[in-house]
Amino acid sequence: MPVGAGARTLVVVAAEEALFSRVWTVPNLISLVRLFCAPVVWWLLFAVDEPWPAAILLGVLGASDWVDGWIARKWDQGSELGKILDPTADRILLLTGMLALLIDGSVPVWYGVLILAREIVIAVTTLALAAAGARRIDVLWAGKAGTLFTMFSLPAFLGASITDGWFHVVCVIAAYGFAIPALAFSYYAAVKYVPEARRALREGRAERAAHDAVGPEVAR
């Protein structure tokens, strides 16, 4: 085998290994587990009528969102896939969890509607921006904080709906203690996304125009 061909083969193999290592990371695996657990919450609530396991699972899934981010930063396991997979898992879990508890009657309707409306608008806007050629927008810290508080509010509301006495009071206080900052951070992030979306659309179109301009030059 020629030396040049061997070197190219080594480069390709190294690139494939690097790509593989950035796909099968611990944070990405945690995000996948969160995705697969979304229907489990529904099964626990509506198929087998086990609200306590559902509440515990929601709490664990909410905490796992912080854990995978910490692991990614601590051990440099961030990846481009993770930047897409993590918020996608967050949004799906939040939407399905909130909808389940709205149907169950555990969360106040006004709270569920405000959270779901915000998430749906953000999801539709993200798809519209991608279709228009905008670059990807990284998740803002306020958005992550809003998601975390929301995910912790769900098991607290669920716990409040199935308990009485002093523990019921504790669950109610915890539920609203998480719900209020959840709304504040979520809608603050939504406002901050407006200039970010405009910038992403402008830069994405500029990159596409530059790429299209280079294409004919290369063809010559």
pLDDT of residue 207: 82
The 10 Å Cβ neighbour count of residue 62 is 24
pLDDT of residue 12: 40
pLDDT of residue 46: 95
Convert the pLDDT of each residue in 7-41 to its tens digit: 444 444 344 444 444 677 888 888 888 888 999 99
Indicate the domain borders of the chain.
25-219
Most confident residue range from 23-27, 62-66, 79-83, 157-161: 157-161
133-157: average pLDDT = 90
CA distance 64 to 29: 11
CA distance 129 to 192: 16
pLDDT of residue 73: 78
pLDDT greater than 90 at residue 209? no
Buried b or exposed e, range 127-155, using 16+ CB within 10 angstroms: eebeeeebbebeebebbbbbbbbbbbbbb
With a CB cutoff of 8 Å and minimum separation 6, the contacts of 100 are 41, 42, 45, 46
Least confident range of 72-81, 95-104, 151-160: 72-81
pLDDT of residue 9: 45
Question: Among 1.10.3470, 2.40.10, 1.20.120, 3.40.50, what is the CATH number of 25-219?
Answer: 1.20.120
pLDDT greater than 90 at residue 180? yes
| CA–centroid distance for 187 within its chain | 16
Confidence of residue 149 (pLDDT cuts 50, 70, 90): very high
Nearest to 95 by CA among 77, 122, 70: 122
pLDDT of residue 171: 96
